[in-house]
Structure 1
Amino acid sequence: MTHTFTLLLTLLGVQFVTTTFKICAFNIRSFGRAKAANQKVMGALVQILSRCDISAVQEVRDSRGSAIQVLLRELNRYDHSHHYSRLESKRLGRGSYKEQNVFVYRMDVVSVTDWRQFEDGDAGNSTAFVRGPFAARFHSSYTAIMDFVLIVHHASPREAVHELDLLFGVCNKLMEQWKTQNVMVLGDLNAAGAYIPPNAWAGICLRSDLAFHWLIGDTEDTTVSHRSCCAYDRIIVHGEEFLGAVVPRSAKPFNFTQALGLSEEEALEISDHYPVEVNLQLSPKAQREL
């Protein structure tokens, strides 16, 4: 590790400051007990995640559930101005390979009012997701929109085209069930490169329906490696009300390699993906409290 990285991780009292409500999705490659026991990796993770009011953490690979408990403990130790909690999906995947999606959120700022785990066949299609999406409904008096739904999904690379289309059905089901149009899809959708042939985009309803706004563009790079440049990780917002609550041009990957002064090798110890993030406008109440 470089001297700069070590210094950043030991001076954990220095935190990122935000004056907006930030939502992010972060595929922390194979996050389990080994990474949770690595103090330098965990130090970086808490700095990254403490920037966000809600983080959709992906690729949690720990059957005992201890890794995410360590992450929450370290977040709460690091950021005394908030209290972090979590909402976990079931363990997802076919065969022996299993992973979880976990919403990590500041429970003093936002609350969970409902949630749903999508299972095989829930999208009304004979071919199901490899790993079903996980959805939660949130309420916060600190955001301009106040009530909204987040759907986090880690798409199977080989089934990315099909699963993106299935997500369209998932969104419609939740909008009908929860009587809201304010839906955001986020996560590692593998929505780029060889996984989505150019001629496939026109047939993906989640892309062609004008009510859905893709906030992370096709030319963005959400990968850590210098040898790749792909927008695998996305944030997609449904409806004009939700779009209007988004801070313009705030949706982007967070390049923690640059922010933490890391080498590529050091960054890849954390993940091979960058988080994608977006800011929501604050409510009048939150603006008065700044």
Structure 2
Amino acid sequence: MHCPAVFLLLASGAEAFRICAFNAQRLTLAKVAREHVMDTLVQILARCDIMVLQEVVDSSGNAIPLLLRELNRFDGSGPYSFLSSLPLGRSTYMEKYVYVYRSHKTQVLDSYVYNDKDDLFAREPFVAQFTFPSKVLPSLVLVPLHTTPKAVEKELNALYDVFLDVSEHWQSKDVILLGDFNADCVSLTKKRLDKLALRTQAGFLWAIPDGEDTTVRASTHCTYDRIVLHGERCQSLLLASATFDFPRRFQLTEEEALNISDHYPVEVELSWSVRRTEPLSLATLLLLSMLLPLLPPSLGLVV
């Protein structure tokens, strides 16, 4: 008798590595110095192995070190370090991209600000390559972008060129694009969204789906914040993706939450190793062949 091939999916190395992006809405020294703001920000950051902060507008340079000091005091899973861009922008209004990361789990291998020769971005991406604790994927490239609402379509199409540049620079297709893309509602219609190169070109997985509300205000429902994965190895490690509703988790009123930000963080969880299929033993196959006819069809088990 020929026994059918049966395989069991095993999640090997189940511990997840969480990568997050958060528009912290005009993050300044004065803002983080407010105790309830600091406490909430620390709890948000402590959930992530790498957090990409956007809208850091602190001109003193002291806000992030102060935040890191409190974060390292709060959470025993540190220590945490950070990597910051220089202020980026076209006028007197400038923002920084800041990576906050658990330095015992990951390290920065390299970073650079994208050479925006044609001035397509209000805040050109500050891309970074990190080590990743996986034999399947030893390093990972992150490309953050905070678009300007007036030029969302232009900037997101230009983000595809950044992906090509990054892929060539590090000879890697495993890239995560993330940040406040403003990719919804009045800033970008669904019709225009679907025509973006990041949608029409093969290989891009939009982990935060259309229709997911990433805004704090009850009066808005927009999927502004996104995480997009490229690369077979990177995508094979994806365990979960979500927005983090921090007002509900920390029992904040809308007014209290808006003191932190008008955006939710978005996140993905990656496994430390790829899910793989392993053949079952002959004894297990024989046992299954006897038990399968007794199982209800609703279980949907296929051999």
Which band: TM-score by shorter chain? Answer: 0.7 to 0.9
Is 1:132 the counterpart of 2:124? The answer is: yes
Residues of 1 paired with 2:213 and 2:160: CA distance? Answer: 24
Is 1:65 the counterpart of 2:57? The answer is: no
**Which one-letter code corresponds to 1:182 in the other structure?**
D
Regions of 4+ moved over 6 Å: none
Pick 1 or 2: higher relative contact order, CA cutoff 8 A, min separation 6. Answer: 2
In 1, are the aligned partners of 2:213 and 2:222 still within 8 Å (CA)? Answer: yes
1:87 partner SS: strand
Q: Which of 98, 101, 113 lines up with 1:102 in the alignment?
A: 98
1:96 partner SS: coil
**Which one-letter code corresponds to 1:108 in the other structure?**
H
Residues of 2 paired with 1:211 and 1:109: CA distance? Answer: 27
In 1, are the aligned partners of 2:15 and 2:271 still within 8 Å (CA)? Answer: no
Where do 1:137-216 residues align within 5 Å?
137-141=129-133, 144-216=136-208
Deviations 1:76-128 (A, max 9, x none): 1111231100110110111110110100001111011011112432xxxx352
Taking a change above 3 Å as real, the CA distance of residues 261 and 208 of structure 1, as seen in their structure-2 partners, is: same
Residues of 2 paired with 1:60 and 1:78: CA distance? Answer: 21
**Stretches of structure 1 lacking an aligned partner (at least 5 in a row):** 1-17, 285-290
Q: Which of 277, 282, 289 lines up with 2:267 in the alignment?
A: 277
CA positional deviation for 1:142: 5.2
2:153 partner SS: helix
- Larger of the two Rg values belongs to structure: 2
Q: Report the identity percentage.
A: 43
CA positional deviation for 1:282: 2.0
Deviations 1:14-49 (A, max 9, x none): xxxx94210000110000011111011100111111
Residues of 2 paired with 1:215 and 1:196: CA distance? Answer: 18
CA positional deviation for 1:143: 7.4
User: What TM-score does the superposition give when structure 2 sets the normalisation length?
Assistant: 0.83
Query: Corresponding residue for 2:253?
Result: 263
Aligned residue-pair number: 261
CA RMSD of aligned residues (A): 1.5
CA positional deviation for 1:201: 2.5
2:172 partner SS: coil
Query: Corresponding residue for 1:53?
Result: 49
2:259 partner SS: helix
Residues of 1 paired with 2:130 and 2:153: CA distance? Answer: 28
